Amino acid sequence: MPMTVKERRLLPHAARHGISTEILEDRACQETIDAAFAVHAALGASHAATTYLNALAVEIAARGLVAHRRPSFSVVYRGKVVGAFDGDLLVEERVLVQVTADRTLTDDHKSDAIRGLVAGGVKVGLAFNFGVGDLRFARIL
């Protein structure tokens, strides 16, 4: 069942009201996946990844969720920053989204999301491929 506008507005504050992290992640994932399908249905499979990323950010915001574009996470080794990982979107501070518009969703795309999860301390990632007739995605834990 789709969430009401009121439920969407509560997401950022829901943890303070006793809603478990797992439920929040599931809601954020569900809304992000639904948003990606809406973007793909509207735009088709003929645009650059940046176009889909921008449209997805607009759609996620329209659903009442907070999405940060191009989040950057430091890679730390022995207490020292040794690198960085730049993601595509971070939804509700808990779901990392990677967007591509290639012929296939490869293991490299999934590996990018995994590296982002490790660097950012995020538990859930979504990798989307908008470059094919049917939207392809993977949920990475």
Span 43-60, pLDDT tens digits: 998 899 999 999 999 999
pLDDT-derived band at 132 (thresholds 50, 70, 90) equals confident
Three-state secondary structure readout of 14-80 = HHHHCCCHHHHHHHHHHHHHHHHHHHHHHHCCCCCHHHHHHHHHHHHHHCCCCEEECCEEEEEECCE
List, in order, residues 6 or more apart from 117 with CB less than 8 Å away: 96, 123, 124, 125, 140
pLDDT of residue 63: 92
Span 4-30, pLDDT tens digits: 444 444 444 444 445 455 555 678 888
pLDDT-derived band at 73 (thresholds 50, 70, 90) equals confident
Q: What percentage of the chain reaches a pLDDT higher than 70?
A: 74
- With 70 as the cut, is the pLDDT of residue 3 above it? no
pTM of the model: 0.75
Residue boundaries of the structural domains of the chain: 5-140
